[in-house]
């Protein structure tokens, strides 16, 4: 780490790159949340088609299908809610002439969005695993 001396072009380029990454971080978090929302919406259709709630096929009597199907529906719904909380705008109040408070509010916003997106991703993966379990249980029982 260089402490003294003028900033070199490489140092400036690195600093500017990190600044641009920080500026775009909130947008990337929201884009990730929107992607999860789209995936959950699509996989809900797949899960409901497999479960075929209207005709009650025989494979719905399989406990693995019932429990994994229920867990998958709940997990996808929880993932959808968490992702929507990332994407929804939220009012932030701060003093416009206090850079320290502005920086703290930005970090708090970024931390909240990152935590919610991480939760959405983990629950989404669990829901996907449940969907795979349902499909495999149906295929093995045929």
Percent of the chain residues past pLDDT 90, beyond the cut: 31
Give me the mean pLDDT over the 106-132 stretch: 93
Determine, yes or no, domain membership for 42: yes
Answer whether residue 2 is part of any domain. no
Is 13 a domain residue?
no
Count of domains in the chain?
Answer: 1
3-state secondary structure the chain: CCCCCCCCHHHHHHHHHHHHHHHHHHHHHHHHHHHHHHHHHHHHHHHHHHHCCCCCCHHHHCHHHHHHHHHHHHHHHHHHHHHHHHHCCCCCCCCCCCHHHHHHHHHHHHHHHHHHHHHHHHHHHHHHHHHHHHHHHHHHHC
pTM given for the model = 0.71
What domain range is 107 assigned to? 32-87+95-141
pLDDT band at 107 (very low <50, low <70, confident <90, very high): confident
């Amino acid at each position: 780490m260089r402490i003294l001396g003028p900033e070199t072009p490489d140092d400036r380029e690195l600093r500017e790159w990190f600044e641009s990454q920080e500026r775009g971080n909130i947008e990337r978090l929201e884009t990730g949340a929107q992607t999860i929302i789209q995936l959950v919406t699509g996989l809900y259709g797949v899960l409901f088609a497999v479960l075929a709630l209207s005709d009650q096929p025989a494979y719905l009597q399989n406990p693995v299908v019932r429990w994994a199907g229920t867990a998958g529906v709940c997990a996808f719904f929880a993932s959808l809610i968490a992702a929507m909380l990332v994407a929804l705008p939220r009012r932030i109040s701060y003093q416009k002439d206090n850079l320290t408070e502005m920086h703290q509010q930005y970090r708090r916003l970024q931390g909240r969005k990152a935590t919610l997106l991480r939760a959405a991703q983990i629950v989404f993966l669990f829901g996907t695993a449940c969907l795979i379990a349902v499909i495999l249980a149906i295929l093995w029982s045929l």
